[in-house]
Structure 1
């Protein structure tokens, strides 16, 4: 089974077979959870995020999850319909890789940029304290 995964013909098969039942449900549940998180992040943005870095982070997460869920379902549909070229296995794996890299950039923003922005904001507040 895993020997096929190592061959390029497996990934670039123009008329790839449909998902097995288990794999279909795994991807379906994954993309449903991603879209549920997207809806939650939109709700959080509208109700609780009052601006600043929190709003930026939740906006970035919202864009990521909506894109991942919608494009993922489209790619799953194309694979299940056995659409030539558009249903190849490589597109779904490539999309998941792109989303993972996108998530890494968001994590990098949270770890590196947010503390710097908070520091600058605190320094600016300290500086403004002495202005008339």
Structure 2
């Protein structure tokens, strides 16, 4: 039996990918942006439901993913004599994302390289002289 991702990758990498997977859905990203924009108070499920036009069950599943991945933290608040589950961005998740992206940017030399253009030019000339595409036509 093969090793799992938890055994062969550093925990930092696994945690980072879990956060990215959690926010890699349009509804969840929209929820993150809505919660992040409201810095004065926590956002309740009811308020998110009004902003995101999904069924209650679907929205709850998305919020569960964000909470379990560590992007959101939750607490119970009382509004209008009713208890509501509210959401707030977990700053540690944002710090982790910025640290990892900072490492990538620091270690990446972003420059234009003329060799890429040469390779592309070679490929197009090679393709023209061999008529490579004709072999894949049915």
TM-score (norm 1): 0.29
Larger RCO (CA under 8 A, 6+ residues apart): 1
Q: Which has the larger helix fraction?
A: 1
